[in-house]
Chains A and B, each alone.
Chain A
Amino acid sequence: MATIIYVQPDGREMPTQVRTGSSVMLGAIQASVPGIEAECGGALDCATCHVYVHPDWLARLSPLSDDEDALLDGVAAERRPESRLSCQLNVTDALDGLIVQLPDRQC
């Protein structure tokens, strides 16, 4: 398990235990953390599991693929340098403590 800290648009922090091997997206869905739609369930089709990764953590994540990069151009909220799709962030012990900010909308 790793603790992922989901930060709501209003600043509320929701520290959540997520199974390693799962994704940051699935962790939010399973714990009913609001703010992530994930319409396609992680198939890299929809761009509705957008998060802003805390800058301290960016370099520790797996790199952006071309497909994720293209999908991020279609997110509903503003795209920023720290934007990622949470379905692509695999939870490992090394991500224990990861902070992700949720955008104000996903669609």
Chain B
Amino acid sequence: MQAFIKHEGVVVPIDRSDIDTDQLVPKQFLKRVERSGFGKFLFFDWRYLNDNYDENPEFELNRPEYRDATILLARRNFGCGSSREHAPWAIADYGFKVVLASSFADIFYNNSFKNGYLPVKLSEEQIEDLFQREAKHRPYKLNVDLEKKIITDQYGLKIAFEIDDFRRDCLMNGWDDVGLTLRFEDKILDYEKKHGIV
């Protein structure tokens, strides 16, 4: 996994709550057996007018000012619904490095950390403030520092955010989860022996 330490980028606001993983990647793109190449399917039904990938000019990702955006800003319960990791794969493959929301669905949040981008949970007030700042200072850039756990902009904003230490370490080092757990293979075997599994 690619490590994440800090990132500065343009923010694209998608002003909705309950953005579900069916919207992030519709089902017709779940049939691939690879992990790569999902970026072009991200937000498919909102982003394209038809199956020929003709862009919907109204949708935020297609607007010229957001073409290079790497930070996604949304509201409540981001990533709800299906557990499909194809959604995080699409977000990472599209080039997003940070997703900011006032809450995330549990499975999606968990999946995000396996894919090298950072989901950041902020309060509803902080998210609202970011929407307003983005509207005022377009194109709006944020600097997200995972080491210091702060988000700053060039207009004096400074937000501290919370993140689990273990997840932070993994993301900052790009560690492979399976490898980390297998350090304790002897403990797993002990458990299996104790419970009559082997």
Q: Do A and B bind each other?
A: no
The interface of chain A, by Cβ under 8 A from chain B, is: none
